[in-house]
A and B are shown apart, each in its own frame.
Chain A
Amino acid sequence: MQQFFGHPESPLFGVHHPPRGKQASDDRAVVICPPIGQEYIRTHWCLRLVANQISRGGAHVLRLDYQGMGDSFGRVEQIDSLAVWQNNIEAAIDQVKQISGAQTVMLLGQRFGGSLAAEVAKRRPDVNSVVLWEPVTDGQIYLNQLRTMHAEMLDLWVCKMSTQDDEAAEEILGAKFSRSLLKEIEALELCVGDIPQPQLAVKIHEGVLNATEHPQPSLQKIVVDDRPASWNDLRELESAYLRPAISRQIVKLVRQMFDRLEQFDALKLTSQSLGAEVAQ
């Protein structure tokens, strides 16, 4: 079911997938945190499928559009801090808890959504676990990659072309970002060791994204997507991101994580109470 939620003056758009199947449970809830910018559009269909499959496994799922993206209120250039999008995730957590009656929620974040979810997880004791799907681990590198694609796009334009940047904002791949937001993105460094909840991390291939490896391995499971990444390929800028194999694997592991959390009665506990063994 699709709905607007949050403050009436700045409504957020979300899609709630109710639980289905024999294992339908009101204790299991997931908030899907999508990527930002053009990656949000590329991954929309993939995340819809993932949400459907997770709900078929018996959990409530809420997909949200951040402020300035999708059908939600506002424009990206009005966002001056990452706190806005983090607050959006918190509003989605409250929303899915209200709909389902669940006491705790799993966050599934992809790309920059993973980085935002990780920050939210640190301050919300009602987040029981986190899925980090190819998360952005270094904001500076991430922005540099986007800027390189943007420059390449303009370089190959039919005529000499530039975008109008000023002291207040910069246009990158079709969206205008405020300087203050860019500054915060640049400063972002994902440290999964700070996340107290059990987590599932999806890496692109072995040896890359070491920042997603938790110092306490028992708290984390890592899966590897063997297919090459396409995030920084200009040819793929408007191609749908479809990864059926890794998506199925994630859905399966999400269900296993819920089973383990339930087994340890952790769906009703705060994050501090979770044991390290739960993730394994």
Chain B
Amino acid sequence: MKEQVCNFGTNGHLLGILTTPDANVRVEGAPIALILNAGIVHRIGPFRLNVDIARHLAELGFSTLRMDLSGLGDSGPRTGKLELENRAELDAADAMTFLQQETGVDEFVIVGLCSGAYNAHCVAVKDHRVVGGVFMDGIVFRTFGYFLRHHLARVFRPRFWRNAIKRRLYRPTFTTSEADGNALAESEFFGGDLSKDKVVNDLSGLMDRGVQMLFLYTDGYDDICGRSQFKEMYGLRPDEGQLQVEYYPKSEHTFRLIENRKAACERVSKWFQNRFGAKVTSATNA
């Protein structure tokens, strides 16, 4: 495995670390994984998740670029007249163009957690060089089933009440300014203009394009409860083929524990190997 620094984009203002596998395990013709920032955490990801995924994939023969979007981590800000465009879409496009020129590979799998998953969705929809996507705790909508499973079920769960009391004892409740800060942060990282119908339409388009998709959700992500919510949200039934969904009931949103991180890394790696170990085409999706 080899890692190298890559500078690309306008005046080389963007930074990424390209991880390439040893020649003896390299999967020829496989797409390159492009990992985006989660929130404002720099390219290594929360608890170094992105590094773990990149190095895991390299052991299986796949290359990865973990990058900082403009203005985050060690990347410079994007200047110019395109400020109304989604920064992530422009930056990811720059990264893919750079990788095409450097490696000759013209297919990519986009990977993101939280706001990274939101950005990955936007990039995947817009850029047809994307042939796969891993969306970790990405876009979700609360459903009736969610209210039943989450709100109603937890009322009968002793640990919920125990934790609620302990949280109050450990620390004061959120102040208004903290709540405002969280709302501001959310509006900064999520466009907020994605309706459920639009996402359903986007996903249908990605399915038609033959884009391979893996959705990972955790219990720590407060807006989803159970794997079945995916079908409730989008009317799409996950399978073991093009559209795969995994739910981790014991994991925090940012995969704080090594055990959770390892499970996520292995799931992503196995999915990658399964879908791209031998190049998948739209004809062999299922």
Contacts A4-B5, A11-B3, A153-B256; A44 near B73 (Cβ below 8 A)? yes
Report yes or no: B170 in contact with A71, Cβ–Cβ below 8 A.
Answer: no
B103 at interface by CB-CB < 8 Å: no
Report yes or no: B258 in contact with A171, Cβ–Cβ below 8 A.
Answer: yes
Report yes or no: A44 in contact with B170, Cβ–Cβ below 8 A.
Answer: no
Q: Which residues of B contact A233 (CB under 8 A)?
A: 171
Total contacting residues, chain B, CB less than 8 A: 34
Q: Which residues of A contact B261 (CB under 8 A)?
A: 174
Q: Which residues of A contact B166 (CB under 8 A)?
A: 155-156
Can you name the residue of chain A whose Cβ is closest to the Cβ of B55? A75
Partner of B41 from A41, A173, A175, A234 at Cβ < 8 Å? A41
Stretch at the interface among A84-92, A96-104, A160-168: A160-168
Total contacting residues, chain A, CB less than 8 A: 35
Partner of A171 from B74, B171, B257 at Cβ < 8 Å? B257
Contacts A3-B5, A41-B46; A159 near B159 (Cβ below 8 A)? yes
Q: Tell me the B220-273 residues at the A interface (CB within 8 Å).
A: 220, 249-250, 252, 254, 256-259, 261
Q: 18 A–B contact pairs at CB < 8 A?
A: A2-B74, A4-B5, A15-B74, A38-B47, A41-B41, A41-B42, A48-B73, A48-B74, A71-B17, A71-B51, A152-B170, A158-B250, A163-B258, A164-B259, A174-B257, A175-B47, A176-B258, A235-B171
Ranked 9 nearest A-B pairs via Cβ: A174-B47, A2-B5, A174-B256, A44-B42, A156-B163, A158-B219, A71-B17, A70-B44, A171-B258
CB distance from A270 to the nearest CB of B (A): 33
Q: Tell me the B1-58 residues at the A interface (CB within 8 Å).
A: 3-5, 7, 15, 17, 40-44, 46-48, 51
Please, what's the 1-or-0 string for A1-45, where 1 marks a CB less than 8 Å from any CB in chain B?
011100000010101000000000000000000000010010011
User: In the bound complex, how far is the Cα of B4 from the Cα of A261, in angstroms?
Assistant: 37
Report yes or no: A71 in contact with B257, Cβ–Cβ below 8 A.
Answer: no
Please, what's the 1-or-0 string for A32-71, where 1 marks a CB less than 8 Å from any CB in chain B?
0000001001001100100000000000000000000111
User: What is A's interface to B at a CB cutoff of 8 Å?
Assistant: 2-4, 11, 13, 15, 38, 41, 44-45, 48, 69-71, 152-153, 155-161, 163-164, 171, 173-176, 233-235, 238, 240
Contacts A2-B5, A234-B170; A160 near B159 (Cβ below 8 A)? yes
Partner of A71 from B44, B163, B171, B256 at Cβ < 8 Å? B44
Q: Which residues of A contact B17 (CB under 8 A)?
A: 13, 71
CB distance from A5 to the nearest CB of B (A): 11
Q: Which residues of B contact A238 (CB under 8 A)?
A: 41, 46, 254
Q: Which residues of A contact B4 (CB under 8 A)?
A: 4
Contacts A71-B17, A235-B171; A45 near B250 (Cβ below 8 A)? no
Q: Which residues of A contact B259 (CB under 8 A)?
A: 163-164
User: In the bound complex, how far is the Cα of B262 from the Cα of A164, in angstroms?
Assistant: 13
Q: Tell me the B36-89 residues at the A interface (CB within 8 Å).
A: 40-44, 46-48, 51, 73-74
Report yes or no: A159 in contact with B249, Cβ–Cβ below 8 A.
Answer: yes
Q: Tell me the B163-188 residues at the A interface (CB within 8 Å).
A: 163, 166-167, 170-171
Q: Which residues of B contact A153 (CB under 8 A)?
A: 256
User: In the bound complex, how far is the Cα of B115 from the Cα of A29, in angstroms?
Assistant: 37
CB distance from A269 to the nearest CB of B (A): 34
CB distance from A197 to the nearest CB of B (A): 29
User: In the bound complex, how far is the Cα of B257 from the Cα of A164, in angstroms?
Assistant: 10
CB distance from A240 to the nearest CB of B (A): 6
Report yes or no: B257 in contact with A156, Cβ–Cβ below 8 A.
Answer: no
Can you name the residue of chain B whose Cβ is closest to the Cβ of A164? B259
Report yes or no: B167 in contact with A156, Cβ–Cβ below 8 A.
Answer: yes
Query: Which of the listed residues A15, A71, A234, A240 has the most CB atoms from chain B within 10 Å of its own CB?
Result: A71
Please, what's the 1-or-0 string for B139-171, where 1 marks a CB less than 8 Å from any CB in chain A?
000000000000000000001000100110011
Q: Which residues of A contact B163 (CB under 8 A)?
A: 156, 158
User: In the bound complex, how far is the Cα of B249 from the Cα of A34, in angstroms?
Assistant: 34
User: In the bound complex, how far is the Cα of B167 from the Cα of A44, in angstroms?
Assistant: 28
Q: Which residues of A contact B258 (CB under 8 A)?
A: 163, 171, 174-176
Query: Which of the listed residues B51, B167, B258 has the most CB atoms from chain A within 10 Å of its own CB?
Result: B258
Q: Which residues of B contact A240 (CB under 8 A)?
A: 40
Q: Which residues of A contact B167 (CB under 8 A)?
A: 156
CB distance from B1 to the nearest CB of A (A): 10
User: In the bound complex, how far is the Cα of B48 from the Cα of A70, in angstroms?
Assistant: 7
Q: Which residues of B contact A70 (CB under 8 A)?
A: 44, 48, 51
Partner of A161 from B15, B48, B170, B257 at Cβ < 8 Å? B257
CB distance from A113 to the nearest CB of B (A): 17
